[in-house]
Amino acid sequence: MDSVDLEVLRNSARWLERGHRVLLVTVVKTWGSSPRPEGAMLAVRDDGAVMGSVSGGCIEDDLIERVRQRGIEQKTPESVKYGISAEEAHRFGLPCGGTIQLVLEPLSMASGIAELCESVLAGKLVTRTLNMQNGAVSLEPAQETDGVVFNETTLSTIHGPRFRMLVIGAGQLSRYLCSIAVGLDYHVTVCDPREEYTDEWDVPGTKIVRTMPDDTVTEMKLDERCAVIALTHDPKLDDLALMEALKTPAFYVGALGSRKNNAARRERLKEFDLSDAELSRLHGPVGIYIGSRTPPEIAVSILAEVTAAKNGVSLPTILQVEGAKAARELEGSGEVCGIQDGVGITQH
């Protein structure tokens, strides 16, 4: 699965190669409530076909109609605002009177979109700088991982994987989880020294390594933009990764398993001289409680919790697996052998 931005870029490059004119629309600033963040992109083809989004749909409709009526005649980029008045906010579906500023950029083969796609697909983080006066573009290695800088003269945007994810285990669940994670803009590395799992690994956009998990964590030099998820159910592998990952600044470290297995895991990790503070960072049972049973559902549950952590959202106890299961027990529901314990099958 491609990330949203990469889909926009790849389609833009493909349309240009086929001889179409393309208008690239980028959100550069928002005021009040806005459906899409700064940096969100939309590509509009000369016949009105689109990829991506910059709002809930109404602004897209206006831009499409504009292209269909006038074509893509402009030669240089321009800046426009939507939702300045209450009437416009209502017309374009901007909530709470929000305002959004866009840059409309007519693309050409000189816009560097194909080169940008190649760099992003290679896992590179790239700064694209657009000259608003003449449409000239430069591509350089990014020094920052976030941000849109617009000053009416130039527009700088950052493209590529801004977050990294290390997944321990190349099983079936990992396939679903990694496919979605790639679409969420993670640069995904899958670590599994077991040949019976790695030989058939073929998830696009991911990197497979066969080194031991603790060595992999050390080699990756995890920072605050990294997530580590252990999914093998094998303590010999999961624990190796966790004991190293919990000592890093990674924003999320979690492991698959039932509450019983999670408690046993924490006791084992104490033997590796992990402090109480480090152990408290471990998410387990991993994921939020949505009654997930199948591998795709479990993957959604896990990535929902990872997304909350990435965005600085503190989940209430009732949404966490342990809290939700405890609440159900208090209500007298109990546990049934074989029912999903959050994101790990209950084992009795």
The DSSP annotation for 279-347 comes to HTTEE-S-SB-S---SHHHHHHHHHHHHHHHHTTPPPPGGGBHHHHHHHHHHTT----TTSEETTEE--
Q: How confident is the model at residue 284 (pLDDT cuts 50, 70, 90)?
A: confident
Query: What's the predicted TM-score (pTM) here?
Result: 0.69
pLDDT at 16 over 90: yes
Q: What are phi and psi of 253, to 5 degrees?
A: -135, 120
Candidate from 141-145, 176-180, 189-193 with smallest mean pLDDT:
141-145
pLDDT at 90 over 50: yes
- Residue 341 has a pLDDT of 44
Q: How confident is the model at residue 122 (pLDDT cuts 50, 70, 90)?
A: confident
Residue 274, CA distances (Å) to 214, 234, 242, 271 in order? 14, 19, 10, 7
The structural domains of the chain, with segments of one domain joined by +, span 4-119, 163-345
194-201 CB contacts, 8 Å cutoff, 24+ apart: 194/170, 197/169, 197/170, 197/171, 198/170, 201/170
Please give the average per-residue pLDDT across 163-188, as a whole number.
94
Please give the average per-residue pLDDT across 191-216, as a whole number.
94
pLDDT at 337 over 60: no
pLDDT at 335 over 70: no
- Residue 161 has a pLDDT of 79
Q: Which residue has the higher pLDDT, 93 or 120?
A: 120
pLDDT tens-digit series, residues 213-255: 999 999 999 999 899 999 998 999 999 999 999 999 999 999 9
How large a percentage of the chain has pLDDT more than 70?
Answer: 87
The 3-state DSSP class for residue 273 equals coil
Place of tokens 């426009």: 80
For 97, which DSSP code? Answer: G
Q: How confident is the model at residue 121 (pLDDT cuts 50, 70, 90)?
A: confident
pLDDT at 272 over 90: no
Instruction: State the Cα–Cα distance between residues 234 and 179, nearest whole angstrom.
Output: 22
Helix, strand, coil content of the chain in percent (nearest 5): 35, 25, 40
Bridge partners for 24 per DSSP = 43, 105
CB 189 within 8 A of CB 209: yes
The domain made up of 163-345 has a fold known as: Rossmann fold (3.40.50)
- Residue 339 has a pLDDT of 36
Candidate from 24-28, 99-103, 191-195 with smallest mean pLDDT:
99-103
pLDDT tens-digit series, residues 43-54: 999 999 999 998
- Residue 147 has a pLDDT of 80
pLDDT at 340 over 50: no
pLDDT at 203 over 70: yes
Q: Which residue has the higher pLDDT, 253 or 162?
A: 253
Q: How confident is the model at residue 58 (pLDDT cuts 50, 70, 90)?
A: confident
Q: How confident is the model at residue 87 (pLDDT cuts 50, 70, 90)?
A: low
Q: What are phi and psi of 122, to 5 degrees?
A: -85, 5
Mean pLDDT of the chain: 87
Token reading at 177: 């989880």
Beta strand 282-283 with 252-255 is parallel
